[in-house]
Amino acid sequence: MQKRSERARRAAAVLGLSALAVLTGCATPAPGPAAAIQALPSALKIDRSHVSQNQDSRVLYLILHYTEANFDHSMDILTVERPNRPPVSAHYLVRETPVEVYQLVDESQRAWHAGPSYWKGASLLNSSSIGIEIVNSGPRREPVEPGDQDFVPFPEEQIQQVIQLCKEIVARHHIRPDRILGHSDIQPQSKQDPGPSFPWHRLAEAGLIPWPDAAQVAAAQPRFAAQLPDVGWFQDQLIAFGYGLERSGQLDHATRRVLSAFQMKYRPSRYDGLPDAESAALLAVANTPGGMRMLGAGATP
């Protein structure tokens, strides 16, 4: 009898706690994923007074995008879950008018922005990156060929906010300058954001990313103008720089897309994906030790 009474008391206690949980759940909204993890109680007494010096951030990359939609539509796409559709999100959204910065995903959490990405041997970069979506309509019309487009410019104040946000993220996670990339760098076959209107050189001047040394490019260009390398050379250079591309020896669609992505970033005045002397000089310098230089007084080493 005594054992039965004890079991009955335990069962009543469990039922009471379950009912309380149900009532609490009805009274308040369920927390988001990050809040739920933090709210989990610990049964252990953990001593956190010893901190290892052998660690760094899990965040290795910073990826920039444009939304190709207005602010309201962008916010809806990035925050609302849709059944039977792949999840889409980003850590930050930078509005254009008025210029405002929204954090949509905690930096400790994975956002779904990079897709089937690749850069310098690393793939599926969602797990190791922070994504910034910039409200911008992108191309004004669909292209007939790579480079056959006109892109909407970014407002000056919006660019200033993006640069400041990048600086703060880089400082928190010690992201290497060569790992601040565009969506078109890591997924060039299907993406072209943030596009040729995005002023990558401004990020170089702010000390965030490296840039091909102008003097070396100018010195190399006449040599390539006299004799342009074959397509295989361009493919080798693009692969060495970090892009995902197969060496076919042919100026195929995939090669033009990747070369266009490189041109949009470093020579946005012409991004048709066709080999030329200036693109060859830029690639050669970019892959030469010491060819990529940090600009600006606040340059990150």
Strand partners, 280: none
Strand partners, 181: 63
Which of 68, 96, 133, 278 is flagged as catalytic? 133
Please choose, from the candidates 188, 131, 191, 194, the residue with its C-alpha nearest in 3D space to the C-alpha of residue 159. Answer: 194
Cβ atoms of residues 104 and 93 within 8 Å: yes
Distances (CA, A) of 101 to 79, 130, 164, 170, 281: 15, 14, 11, 16, 37
The span from the CA of 270 to the CA of 141, in Å, is 17
Cβ atoms of residues 137 and 198 within 8 Å: no
- Does 168 participate in catalysis according to the annotation? no
Residues 6+ apart with CB under 8 A from 180: 61, 62, 64, 166, 170, 203, 208, 209
* Residue showing tokens 């006449």: 222
Please choose, from the candidates 172, 195, 227, 168, the residue with its C-alpha nearest in 3D space to the C-alpha of residue 59. Answer: 172
The span from the CA of 168 to the CA of 300, in Å, is 12
- 30 is written with which tokens? 């369920």
Check residue 139 and report its DSSP letter: B
Enzyme catalytic residues? 133
